[in-house]
């Protein structure tokens, strides 16, 4: 830990419903943790005790998390703050880790749930392999374990070429965010696209050029998206983007709620279309040095867009509809993105 010896206690303040975060919630009670179910108790405990770390279960606190972190930052007294996030909450957790309050980082790191109690404890108490309690040998063992955990997480969720999320992550994230959106009146739109004539570039210019195209596309797509949207490479030259927003306020009455849901779903593609058009423009200006003098302004994509609520209520239906739109875009001449459920089809025709 990056803590002085005077502040190191080896004890963790754990805030929230542990059953939502741990596969073995009962084992948490055996760790040197003080578990508090609500924020008043947590703030009181943080102000009266020296904790080495504070861990917050995000589920159930998402709407209040900003206030929670600001309050803890005032009383934490050197303790590092960790967020325990479900997969769909990872973009939010990343924002808090990169955010600050009065020039102080409000959260130090996060872990994806569900996880096991021992994994949680080792990661939080020995993030740098620095001895806090016990022998140097034990610290080295803990450091190795933490590195293995991070390495396995990366292998399981990231594409090694582009650094984007992989197909497995995109599918599971989509499942979780769709499940939440259906319950809480949220909005989800999926974009799937691939690089037009990618095989030609690979065959003529070599795989190094093909890799450069994929990495360039990944960088540009992330730059065009909002920070919480999730971008992934799901195979070959095929990419996916999950656009999602926080749930809309619920209305009273079944008819009002149903109407509001349809309205929210209908508005979402405008933002996704704007991002997709911006990406098409940026990709068209990209300079690909491995293609020589002809490597500027040659890249185009074909894609499909589909939103939750337009004949799609599951992750499978959303992917199927988006794939169909992508195939239709390619059959129609490439260099276009088709939107499911709109008579205009090509987003170029949508204002």
CATH number of the CATH domain containing 40: 3.40.50.2300
* Domain-located, residue 77: yes
The pLDDT value given to residue 184: 84
**At a CB cut-off of 8 Å and minimum separation 6, what does 148 contact?**
none
Looking at per-residue pLDDT, the higher value among 255 and 236 belongs to 236
* Domain-located, residue 1: no
Residues 184 and 124 in one domain: no
* Domain-located, residue 6: no
**At a CB cut-off of 8 Å and minimum separation 6, what does 254 contact?**
none
Q: Is residue 135's pLDDT more than 50?
A: no
Structurally, the chain folds into a number of domains equal to: 2
Average pLDDT, the chain: 80
Q: Determine whether 276 is exposed, middle or buried from the number of CB atoms within 10 Å of its CB (0-12, 13-18, 19+).
A: buried
* Domain-located, residue 234: yes
d(CA 243, CA 254): 26
Residues 229 and 136 in one domain: no
Residues 190 and 256 in one domain: yes
Boundary of a domain, candidates 101, 133, 157: 157
Residues 131 and 172 in one domain: no
The pLDDT value given to residue 132: 40
* Domain-located, residue 4: no
Q: Is residue 8's pLDDT more than 60?
A: no
* Domain-located, residue 3: no
**Could you tell me the CATH number of the domain that includes residue 187?**
3.30.70.270
The pLDDT value given to residue 40: 85
Residues 176 and 235 in one domain: yes
* Domain-located, residue 123: yes
Boundary of a domain, candidates 133, 157, 181: 157
The pLDDT value given to residue 6: 39
Whole-model pTM?
A: 0.74
Residues 17 and 137 in one domain: yes
Residues 107 and 208 in one domain: no
Residues 128 and 204 in one domain: no
Residues 152 and 27 in one domain: yes
Residues 131 and 186 in one domain: no
Q: Which domain holds residue 314?
A: 167-349
Q: How far is CA 205 from CA 252, 326, 327, 330, in A?
A: 60, 26, 26, 23
Q: Which of 194, 196, 237, 245 is catalytic?
A: 237
The pLDDT value given to residue 344: 61
Residues 141 and 262 in one domain: no
Q: What is the pLDDT of residues 62-91, one digit of tens each?
A: 667 777 787 887 776 577 889 999 988 898
Can 237 be counted among the known catalytic residues? Answer: yes
Residues 116 and 179 in one domain: no
Highest mean pLDDT of the ranges 6-20, 63-77, 296-310? 296-310
Q: Work out the pLDDT band at 275, boundaries 50, 70, 90.
A: very high
Boundary of a domain, candidates 157, 176, 203: 157
Q: Is the peptide bond before 230 cis (omega within 30 degrees of 0)?
A: no
* Domain-located, residue 103: yes
């Amino acid at each position: 830990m990056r803590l002085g010896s005077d502040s190191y206690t080896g004890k963790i303040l754990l805030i929230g419903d542990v059953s939502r975060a741990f596969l073995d919630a009962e084992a948490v009670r055996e760790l040197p943790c003080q578990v508090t179910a609500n924020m008043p108790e947590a703030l009181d405990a943080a102000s009266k005790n020296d904790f080495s770390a504070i861990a917050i279960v995000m589920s159930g606190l998402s709407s209040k998390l900003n206030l929670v972190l600001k309050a803890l930052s005032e009383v934490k007294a050197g303790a590092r703050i960790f967020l325990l996030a479900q997969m769909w909450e990872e973009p939010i957790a990343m924002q808090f880790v990169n955010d600050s309050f009065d020039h102080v980082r409000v959260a130090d790191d996060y872990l994806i749930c569900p996880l096991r109690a021992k994994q949680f404890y080792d990661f939080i108490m020995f993030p740098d392999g620095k001895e806090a309690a016990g022998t140097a040998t034990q610290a080295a063992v803990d450091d190795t374990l933490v590195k293995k955990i991070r390495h396995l997480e990366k292998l399981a969720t990231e594409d090694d070429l582009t650094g984007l999320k992989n197909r497995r992550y995109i599918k599971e994230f989509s499942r979780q965010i769709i499940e939440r959106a259906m319950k809480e009146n949220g909005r989800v739109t999926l974009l799937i696209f691939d690089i037009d004539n990618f095989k030609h570039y690979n065959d003529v210019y070599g795989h190094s050029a093909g890799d450069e195209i994929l990495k360039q596309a990944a960088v540009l797509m992330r730059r065009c998206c909002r920070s919480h949207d999730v971008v992934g490479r799901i195979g070959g030259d095929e990419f996916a983007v999950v656009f999602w927003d926080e749930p809309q306020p619920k209305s009273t009455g079944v008819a009002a709620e149903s109407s509001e849901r349809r309205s929210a779903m209908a508005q979402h593609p405008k933002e996704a279309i704007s991002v997709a058009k911006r990406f098409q423009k940026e990709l068209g200006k990209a300079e690909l040095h491995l293609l020589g003098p002809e490597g500027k302004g040659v890249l185009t994509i074909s894609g499909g867009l589909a939103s939750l609520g337009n004949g799609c209520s599951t992750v499978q239906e959303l992917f199927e509809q988006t794939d169909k739109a992508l195939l239709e875009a390619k059959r129609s001449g490439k260099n276009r993105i088709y939107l499911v459920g709109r008579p205009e089809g090509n987003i170029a025709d949508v204002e």
